[in-house]
Amino acid sequence: MFIDFEGIDGSGKTTLSNLLAARLRRLGYKVVHAREGGELQAPIAQRIREMTRDARLLEMGARTEFFLNVARDAQQLEEVIAPSLARGEVCVSDRYLYSQLALSSGGRGLPREELEPACELASRGIWPDLVVFVDVDPDLARLRKRLSKVKEGCGPDGDSRKGLAGAGLAVRVREAFLDMARRDPARWLIVENNDQPLWVLEQRVVDAVVARLQGREQQAQRIVPPSAPVAPGPVTVDSVEERFFQALDALEVREPALAVWLLGGLPGLAAHQRRLAAVERFPGLAVRSLSGLEDEASWALRELLVKVVPVEVAASLGPSQSPRAMALRELLYPLAPEQVLVSLKHHDSQEAWALRERGLRDRKLPEVLLGLLGVDGDMAWSARELGVQKGLYSAVARSLKGLRGERADALREALLPQDRLAVLRSVTGLDSPFASGLREQLADKALKLVLRSLVGLTTDESFALRERGAPLTKEAIDSLDGLDDPRAWALREAWAERWPATVLSSLGGLPLTERAEALITRVLSAAPGRLPLLRNAYTVIAMAQESAAERVARPVASPEPRVSL
C-alpha cells in the first residue's frame, strides 16, 4: 500500500507521517518511509531539493522549479517507493507529485492541464492508494513554523524560494489541495489539525489506514475532530481579552510551547501570569516573549533568568536603549556575546561602542555588523569597510537597513552582486531612487521582501505596489503597520476577508477609534474562534489602552509665565 501525506508547511504532515510509520511497524507491518525523519531517502532527490529551496536563485522560473521538483519525486519513486511496493511493503511518503501540482498551479499560477502530463510521466502509473491531506489554518501553520525556527536556532531571515513569494502562497496551495481532494474523494482523506491534540489525530489516521489495509469499509473523506466551544454572544472589543485567553489556555493543553510563544510582546497582568506559570517548563520561550516590554515585571523576570537562559534574555532586549537594558548587556556579554552584540541596533552610545570593541577583539565581526543596523558615523563605516574586506557581504548589507544618503546607496550598489536579498532588506522605509529601482527589479522575484520594505512609506509608488501585491499575499497589508492614512484604511477594509489576521495586526500603534473598533469587530465576527485573529486583536487593543493610560499618567508641563509687553 502506498500512503502519501500532503499539506502546507507547518501543517504537521511530516510529524503525522512519521508517527503513522512507527505505529504500523509496531502493529507488525513492514514499512518504508520515503522521507524518514524529514530527510529524503534518495540522495539525488535531496540534492535537488536543496537547489529548489535556495533563495539566492532568484532567476529560477516557475516552470524550471516545477520540472526540478518533479525530477526529485521521480528519483524518490525510482530509488525508494517503487522497490518498496514491489517487495509488498507499506510505503509512506511525505509529499509526492500532488505537491508539485498544488505549488505550480495553485501557488505559482501555471495552467494545471499543462503540468499533469509531466506528472503522469514521472509517476510511471504509480499513484498513492491513500492521500492524507493534513489541513490547517494557514495563520496557525505560520505561527508553528516560526516557533520551530526559534527552537532550531534559525534566524528570521532564512527564507526559502517559496517563502520569498509571501504567505499568500500557502493559502493558494492549500486551496489547490482541497480542489484535488474534491475531485478524487475515494483516494483523499482530509484530517484537520487546528485544535486537537496530536495523539487524537494520530489515532484517527492509524484507524483509517488500518481499515484500508484490512480491506474494511473506507472511512469518511474528512476527519473533523470536535472543535473547541466558542464563547456565546457577539464579539465586541470589550470581550476580546476574555475570549483570547480562553482560547490560549485551551491551546496550552495541546501545544504548551506554542501557547507561550503566542505571549510574545503582550503587555498586562494576564499575559505575565501565564509567563510565570510557564517559566519552569519553557524558560527560554517565556523570556523571549518579553520582547518589546519594559515594565518592572518584565525586567525582573529577565534579571531572574540571566544565568539560566542568557541567549534568550539578550534576544528579548531587542534594540532597547534604556540604562537597564545596557546594564543587562554588560552582565550578559560573557554568557551570550553574539546575541548581545546583535541587540545593539540603533545604539550609538559610548557603552554600545565599548561592547562592540570588545566583540571585535573577540573576533565577532559578523555579530558586530548585524548590531550596527541604523548606526551612522565614522566608527560604524570603518566596521563596514572591514566587513567588506572579510567577505561578510550579507551582514554589511543588513547593517545598512534604514540608512539614507549617497554613501549608503553606493555601498548597497557594490553589494548587490553579492547578496541582493540582504540589500533589498536594507532599503526598508526608504523612498530613494535606488530603493525604488531595486523594488521594481525584484517585485516578481521576492514579492514578500519588496512589500515588507514599504513599512512606513506613504508615497504613491508604495501604495501602487501594495495594491498590486494585495491579491497575492498578506505582506501588502503588513507594510501598513501603524499607518493612519486614508489609502491604508481602504486597503485594510478591502482585504479584511482575505488577510484577516494581518489586517488586525496592521492596526498596532493606532488609537482605538470608532473605525478601528468597527474593523476589529467585523473581522472577529466572521471567525470568532480563530486564535490567530483573537491574538492579534487583543495585542492591538492592549497596546492602544496602555498607550492611552500612559498619556493620561504623563504629567502636564506647567505653562511658561507670560511676559507683559
The more confidently predicted of residues 547 and 79 is 79
Whole-number pLDDT of residue 557: 47
Report which of 197, 131, 143 is spatially closest to residue 170, judged by C-alpha positions.
143
Residue 140, domain member (yes or no) = yes
Domain around 145: 2-223
Q: What is the pLDDT of residues 300-321, one digit of tens each?
A: 999 999 999 999 999 999 989 9
CA distance 417 to 265: 37
Residue 49, domain member (yes or no) = yes
Residue 482, domain member (yes or no) = no
Residue 95, domain member (yes or no) = yes
Q: Residue 547: pLDDT above 90?
A: no
- Burial annotation 399-438 (CB, 10 A radius, 16+ → b, else e): bbbbbeeeebbebbeebbeebbbbbbbbbbebbeebbbeb
Q: Collapsing DSSP states into helix, strand and coil, what is residue 190?
A: strand
The mean pLDDT of the chain is: 92
**Judging by DSSP bridges, how do beta strands 31-33 and 188-192 pair with one another?**
unpaired
Q: Residue 74: pLDDT above 70?
A: yes
CA distance 365 to 393: 12
**Confidence bin at 62 (pLDDT 50/70/90):** very high
Q: What is the pLDDT of residues 224-281, one digit of tens each?
A: 655 555 566 678 899 999 999 999 999 999 999 999 999 999 999 999 999 999 999 9
Number of domains, the chain:
1
Q: Residue 559: pLDDT above 90?
A: no
Whole-number pLDDT of residue 563: 32
User: Percent of the chain beyond pLDDT 90?
Assistant: 83
Whole-number pLDDT of residue 227: 55
**How many Cβ atoms from other residues are within 10 Å of residue 555's Cβ?**
5
Report which of 110, 107, 119 is spatially closest to residue 161, judged by C-alpha positions.
107
Q: Which stretch of DSSP H or E encloses residue 215?
A: none
Whole-number pLDDT of residue 314: 96
Q: Residue 536: pLDDT above 60?
A: yes
CA distance 391 to 15: 39
Q: Residue 430: pLDDT above 70?
A: yes
* Residue 93 DSSP one-character state: E
Q: Residue 299: pLDDT above 80?
A: yes
Q: What is the pLDDT of residues 467-514, one digit of tens each?
A: 999 999 999 999 999 999 999 999 999 999 999 999 999 999 999 999
Least confident of 160-164, 287-291, 514-518: 160-164
**Confidence bin at 218 (pLDDT 50/70/90):** low
User: Percent of the chain beyond pLDDT 70?
Assistant: 94
CA distance 122 to 202: 30
Residue 212, domain member (yes or no) = yes
Residue 208, domain member (yes or no) = yes
Whole-number pLDDT of residue 231: 60
**Confidence bin at 337 (pLDDT 50/70/90):** very high
What is the residue type of 426? S
Residue 46, domain member (yes or no) = yes
Q: What is the pLDDT of residues 94-125, one digit of tens each?
A: 999 999 999 999 999 999 999 999 999 999 99
Residue 514, domain member (yes or no) = no
Q: What is the pLDDT of residues 127-184, one digit of tens each?
A: 999 999 999 999 999 999 999 888 877 665 567 889 999 999 999 999 999 999 999 9
Please give the backbone phi and psi of residue 33, each rounded to the nearest 5 degrees, phi first: -105, 120
- Burial annotation 12-39 (CB, 10 A radius, 16+ → b, else e): bbbbbbbbbbebbeeeeeebbbbbbeee
Q: Residue 29: pLDDT above 50?
A: yes
**Confidence bin at 564 (pLDDT 50/70/90):** very low
Arithmetic mean of pLDDT, 390-401 = 96
Spatial neighbors of 384 by CB under 8 A, at least 6 apart, are 369, 372, 396, 399, 400, 411
Check which CATH number belongs to the domain holding 163 and give it.
Answer: 3.40.50.300
